[in-house]
Structure 1
Amino acid sequence: MLLLVFNVAVFFAKLAFAKKQPDNPTTSPTTPTNMLVGFPKHIAVADKMQGFPFSIDKEVTGVPSWMALNYPNLLYAVDESSNALTLFEINLVSDEITAKSSKEGSSGVVHLEFNADNTRLIGCAYGNGTIDIWNTTNGGLGLIKTVPSPGQPGLDKERQASPHPHQANLDPTGRFFVINDLVNIIHISPQGCGPRHGVFYPQGAFRATHYILVCEISNKVLVYTVSYRENYLDFTQIQSTSTFGPGLPPANSSSAAAGAIVLAADNRHLYVSNRQTGNSTDSVSHFQINHSNSTFLSLQFVGSASTYGISPRMMSFSHEDRYLLIANQAGGFGLVALERRLDGTLEAENPISVLGGPDFTPQFIQQIT
């Protein structure tokens, strides 16, 4: 089935080409590093992976469930519980985070994405059903406009009654944003998918050949080919597979909701988080990426690992992809680091590091240095 870009709630912007940030290797869990953490009323920085000790713990207003860093020191943070977007200055030498300005946009923003030269910032407002476009030129913060997310109600009358844009993805050329909307499922088969997060494939290429999308309602991973046209992208679905893999269903299929998706830099391994499964802990599924040529790519389920917590909302890699960092927002260990073996499988029996507490509900984790 042909999937046109606009039919999956995609907003286009012609932008400059991307600039790659240099890698900063992580050699061991005890090596000094800095990981940005967001949880209700706090923005924190952990300066080691082992135990996640906080060198900075800044009290803030609301819920900073997503952040975007304009290197080296400008941090943009949403407040998912309000309509505020705040610009902070972060100083990793003096261990300080200072608020510089705060502006009003849409309510319920859950994701931020820069354009290629960091002069524009796209905010997806799940709660409001809109997309904010911010001017961030020279480290500023100004709302340019708010765009309603298009779409028709989906099969789930409770969760898909109105648009819910979840994530903006800048394609490798820097010309297009793809925005995943929980509701806009007109050309996604089968209907009721609930698009949440996605990744372009492959990483490091000038153009994408595929787009891989995770659906939180159907708990499916969908694979599309990507074709570049003059002013738009074409998507054609070529695979649909369960986020749980064969023989590993959730204990509660009615509540299960797939969450995060991350692609390793080697373009051979993909990881998807499974939330609210009803099991004692939730899980992350590992898929191997197989392809015979640039068109026929397929995902093969390898296995799953415990996240040692409940509702893994976000995952990200440490530098060099050595560790998978997980933020569980609803119980168990809040922060978890799992080591990736050379074959891409996860060392799940002995997590490298965990941090938890009864009121610790992190929603964001990302290594920044």
Structure 2
Amino acid sequence: MRFQLITALSVAATVSATNFFVSDYSGNVTTFSLTANNGTYALAQTFQTTECAPNPSWLTVDINRGLLFCLNEGLETVNGSLSSFTINRDGSLTHVKNETTISGPVNRVIYGNAAGQRAIALAHYTGSAVSSWLLQGEGKFELNQNLPYTLAQPGPNAARQDAPHEHEAITDPTGQYILVPDLGADLVRVFGWDVTTLVLKTLAPLKAAPGSGPRHAAFWNPYAVTGAGSPTYLYLVSELASTVTGYAVTYLPNGGGLNFTEVYKSSTYGLLNQPEGNAPAEVHVTPDNRFLVISNRNNTSFNLPESDGTVVPSDSLTTFRPLNDGTLAWVQIWPSGGLYPRQFSIDGTGSFVAVSNQYSQNVAILSRDVATGLIGEPIARMSVPGNTTCIMWDEWNA
């Protein structure tokens, strides 16, 4: 494995060692340690397992219970799978359980009573479904429900919208609802659930623009206060249209679901001209609730110099500042550190952005100025054996 060290600007001179987990399509889940010495950062692999093989697609850290859940997309198999691990203090993982799922799980969310019965809901891209699994403690789980979907006819983008393609599962800020963007059906599906069984109940969806291909979404509240009476906005990133759309969200009475009113739309490039074929992927609100960051794939907008004089092509990350009326103010576009940034994670302090650059088969750790929201130079990069799919900070040991 190769790595590059770059002195970071506007980052504290010393930090303690920090672990993060990386999945890649060659079958590995790897633990890396990020350490610093007077502003110089280094990455080192400390653990690796293939017990989520063959195609790990997404990782979830259950920070209150020291667990990691891994989804295997099963790119060349009939089914996918769900695996669980306990996280050890050194960042290594101990495998607990693996169960076969509907094909193509690519994202998940844990829901239910934080102090009682909980479940994990999976979004299945190729399987055109949502599934629910009851969590039984200590990493054990069992199937609760499968919800398959079909299309009466292909969507406007027939090559990508031949079937429903559930792409993500998130909860709203109050924890009452699950939202699942469906790239194939141009919907954001909305679910409530039975408080006893955690069986999902289908509610009225958000209908996105035809052919837009909803992929991922993030909620934002101007005052970081949850509740049905507080201003709430949803930012939906649509992969096929390469747009970010803001919706004002209101809560219907008696657990009846959500109402969405569009208040903003732009390309994910913001103020800059967007390259043809750009395909946005991930979106996050920063830990301080002040900025929104989106990853852009398939644009190769930057070239990064290497120490040997060569350059590395790079796609991009765009930063916006949400305003109180739900509109977005463009802040910055910056290299992601490689090609096809499928997913990224921001650490709890907001000082680092860890990017999984799928086609470069690398992870890039970028510095970030918390005050200005500007993302800075890569402080470290390292290759992984296969196409990188997900990177998550080890918040259990933070």
Aligned to 1:11: none
CA distance change for structure 1 residues 189 and 109 in 2, over 3 Å: closer, same or farther?
closer
Task: Give the drift of 1:166.
Answer: 0.5
Question: Quick check: 1:66 aligned with 2:62?
Answer: no
Aligned to 1:194: 213
- Following the alignment from structure 2 to structure 1, what is the Cα–Cα distance between the partners of residues 80 and 273? 39
Alignment of 1:1-369 (within 5 A): 30-39=15-24, 40-48=26-34, 50-60=41-51, 61-70=53-62, 71-81=64-74, 82-93=79-90, 96-116=92-112, 117=114, 119-139=118-138, 140-149=140-149, 153-185=154-186, 188=207, 190-202=209-221, 204-207=224-227, 209-229=232-252, 230=254, 231-250=256-275, 253-254=276-277, 256-279=278-301, 280-291=313-324, 296-331=325-360, 333-347=362-376, 350-356=377-383, 359-368=385-394, 369=398
Give yes or no for contact 2:134–2:141 (8 Å, CA) kept in 1.
Answer: yes
Aligned to 1:16: none
CA distance change for structure 1 residues 221 and 258 in 2, over 3 Å: closer, same or farther?
same
- Following the alignment from structure 1 to structure 2, what is the Cα–Cα distance between the partners of residues 361 and 216? 19
- Following the alignment from structure 1 to structure 2, what is the Cα–Cα distance between the partners of residues 189 and 111? 20
SS at the partner of 1:137? strand
SS at the partner of 1:205? coil
Could you tell me which runs of 5 or more consecutive residues in structure 1 were left unpaired when the two chains were aligned.
1-25
The one-character-per-residue Cα deviations of 1:302-330 (angstroms, maximum 9, x if unpaired) are 22000120010111111211111111010
Give yes or no for contact 2:267–2:274 (8 Å, CA) kept in 1.
Answer: no
- Following the alignment from structure 1 to structure 2, what is the Cα–Cα distance between the partners of residues 271 and 35? 20
Task: Give the drift of 1:341.
Answer: 4.3
CA distance change for structure 1 residues 204 and 245 in 2, over 3 Å: closer, same or farther?
closer
Match for 1:148: what amino acid? P
Give yes or no for contact 2:361–2:388 (8 Å, CA) kept in 1.
Answer: no
% same residue: 24
The one-character-per-residue Cα deviations of 1:77-109 (angstroms, maximum 9, x if unpaired) are 11111421112222234x542222211111110
TM-score (norm 1): 0.84
- Following the alignment from structure 1 to structure 2, what is the Cα–Cα distance between the partners of residues 265 and 151? 37
Task: Give the drift of 1:149.
Answer: 3.8
Task: Give the drift of 1:276.
Answer: 1.1
The one-character-per-residue Cα deviations of 1:210-260 (angstroms, maximum 9, x if unpaired) are 11110100000000011101221111111111101233322xx13x21100
The one-character-per-residue Cα deviations of 1:123-181 (angstroms, maximum 9, x if unpaired) are 00011100010001323210111012466632100101110001111112111001111
Q: Relative to structure 2, which stretch is displaced further, 29-38 or 159-168?
A: 29-38
Q: Relative to structure 2, which stretch is displaced further, 161-170 or 240-249?
A: 240-249
- Following the alignment from structure 1 to structure 2, what is the Cα–Cα distance between the partners of residues 91 and 323? 23
Could you tell me which runs of 5 or more consecutive residues in structure 2 were left unpaired when the two chains were aligned.
1-10, 36-40, 188-205, 302-312
Give yes or no for contact 2:361–2:386 (8 Å, CA) kept in 1.
Answer: no
- Following the alignment from structure 1 to structure 2, what is the Cα–Cα distance between the partners of residues 352 and 266? 22
Match for 2:237: what amino acid? V
CA distance change for structure 1 residues 312 and 88 in 2, over 3 Å: closer, same or farther?
same
Give yes or no for contact 1:307–1:336 (8 Å, CA) kept in 2.
Answer: no
Give yes or no for contact 1:150–1:163 (8 Å, CA) kept in 2.
Answer: yes
CA distance change for structure 1 residues 297 and 204 in 2, over 3 Å: closer, same or farther?
closer
Match for 1:85: what amino acid? L
Match for 2:69: what amino acid? Y
SS at the partner of 1:237? strand
CA distance change for structure 1 residues 72 and 303 in 2, over 3 Å: closer, same or farther?
same
Match for 1:110: what amino acid? V
- Following the alignment from structure 1 to structure 2, what is the Cα–Cα distance between the partners of residues 29 and 365? 23
CA distance change for structure 1 residues 176 and 341 in 2, over 3 Å: closer, same or farther?
closer
TM-score (norm 2): 0.78
CA distance change for structure 1 residues 248 and 51 in 2, over 3 Å: closer, same or farther?
farther
Q: Hey, which of these two has a bigger chunk of strand by percent?
A: 2
Count the aligned residue pairs: 333
